[in-house]
């Protein structure tokens, strides 16, 4: 985990240098501001990863002599058959389309989004997956 923090900090230094060069060379405020904001995001993520790396044990990716198999094992639980993301995607697409087409479309997208969220949250509280 230590290398990710270092990589983001190196990336933030590069983005800062490019922001300065771009700002001086182009004198365009929107792109310069976007690059400085990207620098801020990179430094925040890099600091968080570097700060967290000091508190957790070293993993296999921190060891230069480690094999790929050293990091093998269970990663976590992932829902294999959920239909709720489809409802959220259709509802979200309709919600974003309502900005361009008309706000009346939000009346159709809000129930889809709420049904998707409700189903996703309570997916393992009912039915055949209740005991997982």
Quick one: CA dihedral 120, 121, 125, 131, positive or negative?
Answer: positive
pTM: 0.54
- Summarised one tens digit per residue, pLDDT across range 76-109 is 777 777 889 999 999 999 999 999 999 999 999 9
Cα–Cα distance for residue pair 54/49, rounded to 1 Å: 9
Cα–Cα distance for residue pair 120/85, rounded to 1 Å: 8
Mean pLDDT taken over the chain: 88
Main-chain dihedrals φ then ψ at residue 58, nearest 5 degrees: -70, 135
């Amino acid at each position: 985990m230590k290398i990710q923090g270092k990589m983001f900090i190196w990336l933030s230094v590069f983005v800062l240098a490019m922001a300065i060069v771009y700002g001086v060379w182009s004198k365009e405020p929107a792109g310069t501001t976007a690059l400085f904001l990207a620098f801020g995001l990179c430094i925040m993520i890099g600091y968080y990863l570097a700060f967290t790396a000091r508190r957790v044990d070293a993993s296999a990716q921190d060891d230069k002599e480690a094999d790929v198999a050293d990091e093998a094992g269970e990663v976590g639980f992932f829902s294999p058959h959920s239909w709720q993301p489809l409802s959220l995607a259709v509802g979200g697409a309709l919600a974003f389309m309502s900005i361009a087409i008309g706000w009346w479309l939000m009346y159709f997208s809000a129930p889809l989004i709420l049904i998707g969220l409700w189903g996703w949250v309570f997916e393992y509280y009912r039915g055949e997956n209740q005991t997982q």
